[in-house]
Amino acid sequence: MDKGLLVIVSGFSGAGKGTLVKGLIDRYDNYCLSISATTRDPRPGEENGRHYFFVTVEEFERMIAEDRLIEYARYVGNYYGTPRDYVQKKLEEGKDVILEIEMQGAMKVKAKFPNVVTIFVSTEDAATLKSRLMGRATETVEQIENRLIRAIDEAELMNGYDYLLINDDRDASIEQLNSIIMNEHRKMTYNTEFIGEIEKGLKTLFGR
């Protein structure tokens, strides 16, 4: 059996990547979502251990020092990072593990895991992004502005991702996300184990 695939979903703040990832996990059972650690405050309705592990700066820095994170980054004044143990365990169980992380972290993971697939989620245009972010009303005006400024930098670097997903229709985008990942499983570079086995099997069968 294939080992699970590591999948990074990034995107502009407000592009709806969280909703897409949640939809994907609810619809298909071969996916697991990595829960990140962060030093930012919980938003209303967010639970510790479900949306994030909400930790202090000291706790986060201890996780870095003990090498318990696959990657971490600073985003608009806070630390965010991916705990290593859960991801490794689920990949070994053959699950596809989704990391919903920002760009700096994505590039670090890509350097460490050559088979990772990277997907960038955008709205259809900039104006839609702004109105979605404003409509969310979970951040202050200043925080929203900082996120939009950050989006300008992200737009410059988004072409480093493997796939672009334009989230203009939730259901269709969830299906596209699933198709991208399923196709990735069929890549020859991901199936070296199968290739080795069938080659060996054929040689044994035909005495070569």
Residues forming contacts to ligand 5GP in the complex (CB under 6 A) are: 13, 36, 40, 71, 73, 75, 80-82, 100-102, 104-105
Report which of 15, 16, 14 is spatially closest to residue 133, judged by C-alpha positions.
14
Rounded Cα distance, 100 and 9, in Å? 5
Q: Which is nearer to ligand 5GP, 75 or 161 (CB)?
A: 75
Nearest approach, Cβ of residue 39 and ligand 5GP (Å): 10
Rounded Cα distance, 58 and 102, in Å? 22
Q: Which is nearer to ligand 5GP, 34 or 96 (CB)?
A: 34
Q: Confirm if 158 and 122 have CB atoms less than 8 A apart.
A: yes
Q: Which is nearer to ligand 5GP, 102 or 184 (CB)?
A: 102
**Shortest Cβ contact with ligand 5GP: which residue?**
105
Nearest approach, Cβ of residue 3 and ligand 5GP (Å): 21
Rounded Cα distance, 67 and 60, in Å? 11
Nearest approach, Cβ of residue 68 and ligand 5GP (Å): 12
Residue partners of 152: CB distance under 8 A and separation at least 6: none
Q: Which is nearer to ligand 5GP, 1 or 141 (CB)?
A: 141
The pair phi, psi for residue 85, each rounded to 5°, is -55, -50
Nearest approach, Cβ of residue 102 and ligand 5GP (Å): 4
